[in-house]
Structure formats: C-alpha cells, structure tokens
Amino acid sequence: MTHRKPLIAGNWKMYKSVAAAVATVLELKPLVSNANHCEVLIAPPFTAIKTVADRVEGSNLFVAGQDVAAEGAEGAFTGEVGAEMLREAGCTHVIVGHSERRQFYGETDERVARKARRALDAGLIPIICIGETLAEREAGQAEAVVERQIKESTATLTAEDLIRIVAAYEPVWAIGTGRAATPEIAQAMHHNVRGVFENVFGSEAASSVRILYGGSVKPENIAEYMREPDVDGALVGGASLQPDSFSKIVFYNRD
Ligand code: PEP
C-alpha cells in the first residue's frame, strides 16, 4: 500500500490579530519542530498569512489560505484573493469548500472544483472539504451527499492531480460542537470517499490521496482517529488556536 504521510492541519478561521498570530506561531514552532512522522500546517486569516509565513520560513510548518478565488490570477473581483497571491504571500496549501463557506456564503461544488483547479495551477495544494449536515445524516443521506460533493468538487481534476490534493471529511454536525464523529463513522466515510476516488481516478491515485478527518478533534481523541486505516490526519479548528493543544494533537503518537 502507498505510504501516506499524515497531515495535521490547523484552521484558525476568523481568529487572531497579526500580533496574536505571530505570538502563537513563535510558540508553536519549537513545540513541533521535531515532528517527522507527519506534516504540520496552519491556516491563519488572510491578514496574517504573510507575517506568519515569514516567521516560519525554513521550519517544518506549512501555511495555508482558508479560501481562494475561483477566478483568474487578478481582476475586478472585489474581496477575493487569487491563488498566485497566496503563493506569493508564502502559502503552500489552501482550504477550499469548508462547510462554513458552503453554509454561510453559498459555496457550491462547482465553485469548489474551480477553486481547486486554480490552486493546483498556481502550485498550491487544495484541501477540499466535504461533509453532510445533521439533517442529511438523520435522513440516511450522508453517504450520497458526501459522494456527490466529492465527485463534483473534484470534477476539474485528473488522476495526476488527485495525488497532489488533500480531502477533508468534516461532518457539519461535528464542527465546533464538541460532538465528534466516532472513529468508526469517520473510517466508514473515508473508505467510501476513497472508493469514489477509485471509481473516478483509478486505484493508484485513490490509494495515494490523503483524507483528513475534521470535527471537534482534540488532544484526547486524535489517537483513535489516527488508528483507522483510511484516516490520514486531521483538520482542526478550535483546538488549533492554542499551541499547547495543537502540538499535543500533532504528537498523537505519544502516550
Ligand atoms: C474546522 O473548522 O475545520 C473544524 C473541524 O473545527 P473544530 O475542530 O473546532 O470542530
């Protein structure tokens, strides 16, 4: 089986001033500097990206944007930030299709697919988020919803692209609620997602792509997710804001 290096990603959402972001990252950097078993990434708000990226240069920390324009490198798109701009500011990755973007800003699978394409074309790794709502799960539609999201959100990609992207399964009912999915639920959905990738892109690409779990991940529960065969890391919101809790998640393999 292809070795998939785990990725632990922190999404800071709309938290932290530039000063607070710098303070956090300066504290985090030495705490995770010898994390060789996984990749570590943080996604600060746009305003702090450049400063944070400058401070982590040469370290093992990757920096991501939380969103990217679906349009071109530049243009009359007020409020948008292009993929090349993120690259220039020091990003290597970008989150696309986070459920908060889908829920509050009308993000569609079609737009997510265009954003993923833009990211790849600019040399960024897109972290493509998918996940069902509570109503969809209770109606027995979780698998169908996630299957549709992942197919349509990767519609612009080839098998070669798939190897470079990261997928993140984040059930909406588990985000910021303290109600984490069980490792069994996560594993079952990750397995389904990999199955969709296999059907669309072939088994080689499907076995290489990393699938993160997200939704109330904490230092106390990360190890049980990481034991599941199709869970290749985590996308962490609340618990990524503090260096102490985030570094404990990074070192999920320690007792
Ligand atoms: C997220 O925002 O991607 C997330 C998973 O948040 P939390 O860890 O706070 O549930």
Q: Establish whether residue 43 lines the binding site of ligand 1, counting it when its CB lies within 6 angstroms of any ligand atom.
A: no
User: Which pLDDT belongs to residue 3?
Assistant: 86
Per the listing, tokens 């939380």 go with 66
User: Residue 127 domain-assigned?
Assistant: yes
Active-site residue identified among 39, 93, 98, 100: 98
User: Residue 205 domain-assigned?
Assistant: yes
User: Which pLDDT belongs to residue 72?
Assistant: 85
User: Residue 220 domain-assigned?
Assistant: yes
User: Residue 193 domain-assigned?
Assistant: yes
User: Residue 2 domain-assigned?
Assistant: no
User: Residue 255 domain-assigned?
Assistant: no
pLDDT at 1 over 60: no
> 2 falls in which pLDDT band (50, 70, 90)?
low
Tens digit of each residue's pLDDT (9 = 90 or more) over 37-87: 999 999 999 999 999 999 999 999 999 999 999 998 899 999 999 999 999
Percent of the chain with pLDDT over 70: 99
φ, ψ at 230 (rounded to 5°): -100, 10
User: Residue 1 domain-assigned?
Assistant: no
Query: Is 170 part of the annotated catalytic residue set?
Result: yes
Q: Establish whether residue 216 lines the binding site of ligand 1, counting it when its CB lies within 6 angstroms of any ligand atom.
A: yes
Tens digit of each residue's pLDDT (9 = 90 or more) over 128-184: 999 999 999 999 999 999 999 999 999 999 999 999 999 999 999 999 999 999 999
Q: Establish whether residue 123 lines the binding site of ligand 1, counting it when its CB lies within 6 angstroms of any ligand atom.
A: no
Domain count, the chain: 1
User: Which pLDDT belongs to residue 137?
Assistant: 95
Q: Establish whether residue 237 lines the binding site of ligand 1, counting it when its CB lies within 6 angstroms of any ligand atom.
A: yes
Mean pLDDT on 101-117: 97
Per the listing, tokens 């920096």 go with 63
Q: How far apart are CA 124 and CA 122, in angstroms?
A: 6
User: Which pLDDT belongs to residue 49?
Assistant: 98
- Choose which residue among 93, 170, 220 to substitute to test ligand 1 binding: the one with the highest number of ligand atoms within 8 A of its C-beta: 170
User: How many Å lie between the centroid of ligand 1 and the Cα of residue 12?
Assistant: 9
Q: Establish whether residue 238 lines the binding site of ligand 1, counting it when its CB lies within 6 angstroms of any ligand atom.
A: yes
- Choose which residue among 8, 11, 169, 242 to substitute to test ligand 1 binding: the one with the highest number of ligand atoms within 8 A of its C-beta: 11
Mean pLDDT on 196-216: 97
What's the chain's average pLDDT?
97
Q: Give, as one character, the DSSP assignment of residue 181.
A: P
Q: Please report the beta strands in the chain, taking only residues with DSSP state E, as ranges in sequence order.
A: 7-11, 39-43, 61-65, 93-96, 125-130, 166-169, 210-214, 233-236
User: Which pLDDT belongs to residue 213?
Assistant: 98
Q: Which domain holds residue 205?
A: 7-250
CATH code for the domain of 209? 3.20.20.70
Reported pTM: 0.97
Please name which of 97, 7, 93, 98 lies closest in space to residue 53, comparing C-alpha atoms: 93
Q: Establish whether residue 215 lines the binding site of ligand 1, counting it when its CB lies within 6 angstroms of any ligand atom.
A: yes
User: Residue 86 domain-assigned?
Assistant: yes
User: How many Å lie between the centroid of ligand 1 and the Cα of residue 236?
Assistant: 5
Query: Is 98 part of the annotated catalytic residue set?
Result: yes
User: Which pLDDT belongs to residue 62?
Assistant: 98
User: Which pLDDT belongs to residue 172?
Assistant: 96
